A = this chain, B = another copy of it.
Amino acid sequence: MATLKVSSLGDYIREQRESAQVSLRQLAKSAGVSNPYLSQIERGIKKPSAEILQQIARGLRISAETLYVHAGILDERHEGGGDVVAAVLADPAIGDRHKRVLVDIYESFRAEHAAKEAVAKKATRSRTRKATGPVATKPHTTTRRTSS
């Protein structure tokens, strides 16, 4: 299972913030987190908890699940509408035990289907995967004042 992707998460948050045309302090205030901490998150220095991500998502007016995917808390396959697992978990018409059983069956079906897809793909080979690029450089550098 992938480790939590801190630096790409920070880039994404800063992207969303700048796209919404709000400052770091404004987002920090609406999200209810301190602005130095938000700065550290955006720069990939700190790894926020799911609770902090929920608050940031609320401040950005996006779904928390979007940030979860970037943080590695949720797998990308579960994001968005039509998600079977989310639908099952949210369904009040069945109990927890049934939910677990249904999700297990679904996952095994998915694995079976994926295996079949892999076999089918072997017949049509010659595909290359694109490597992901590094993180963006900082917008400006700061200079510390010499002590008086």
Interface residues of A (CB under 8 A from B): 1, 3-4, 12, 49-51, 54, 58, 61-63, 65-66, 68-69, 71, 73-74, 76-91, 93-96, 98-107, 109-110, 112-114, 116
On chain B, the residues within 8 Å of A101 by CB distance are: 105, 109
The answer to whether A102 and B102 have CB atoms under 8 Å apart is yes
**Besides A82-B82, A83-B87, 8 other A-B contacts (C-beta < 8 A):** A65-B85, A66-B103, A68-B74, A77-B93, A80-B82, A81-B89, A81-B90, A94-B109
The answer to whether B80 and A83 have CB atoms under 8 Å apart is yes
Distance (Å) between the CB of A8 and the closest chain B CB?
Answer: 11
On chain B, the residues within 8 Å of A105 by CB distance are: 101-102, 105
Distance (Å) between the CB of A111 and the closest chain B CB?
Answer: 9
A-B contact pairs, 25 of them (CB 8 A): A1-B54, A50-B68, A50-B73, A51-B73, A65-B86, A68-B73, A69-B89, A78-B90, A80-B86, A80-B90, A81-B82, A81-B89, A82-B82, A82-B87, A82-B90, A82-B91, A83-B87, A86-B87, A93-B110, A93-B113, A94-B106, A95-B109, A98-B112, A102-B109, A105-B105
On chain B, the residues within 8 Å of A73 by CB distance are: 50-51, 54, 68, 73
On chain B, the residues within 8 Å of A74 by CB distance are: 65, 68, 74, 86, 89
